[in-house]
Amino acid sequence: MTMNPKITTLKLSAVAASLAILGGCASTSALEEVRLTAEAAQAEAAEARSIATQAQGTADQALTTANEAKADAETARRTADQNREEMNRMFQRTMQK
């Protein structure tokens, strides 16, 4: 699974900001940076989830279409087999005359 560079950068920024806070260098601007980074990460995750949901829907539609095409192909094969058998019977009757 490939990581999105934006998400990786956001995660690294969040970790760096968290380490700065844990190191005792917590300031209002550092806390604000962590909050903004977390919000950005949440937005990226929501967008990724939306894209994944759309992709699943597209895949489901493709599977349905493929199943319909398979059923149509099987019907066509059965019809061709029946026609071939009938043609063979007709040929055999003609040859017997």
Report how far apart the first and last C-alpha atoms of the chain are (Å, whole number): 71
Q: Which pLDDT tens digits describe the chain residue by residue (97 residues)? A: 555 666 666 676 777 666 666 655 557 888 888 889 999 999 999 999 999 999 999 999 999 999 999 999 999 999 999 999 999 999 999 988 7
Sketch the domain layout of the chain as residue ranges.
Answer: 5-96
Prediction pTM value: 0.54
Q: How confident is the model at residue 22, as a pLDDT?
A: 63
* pLDDT of 5: 66
pLDDT at 30: 81
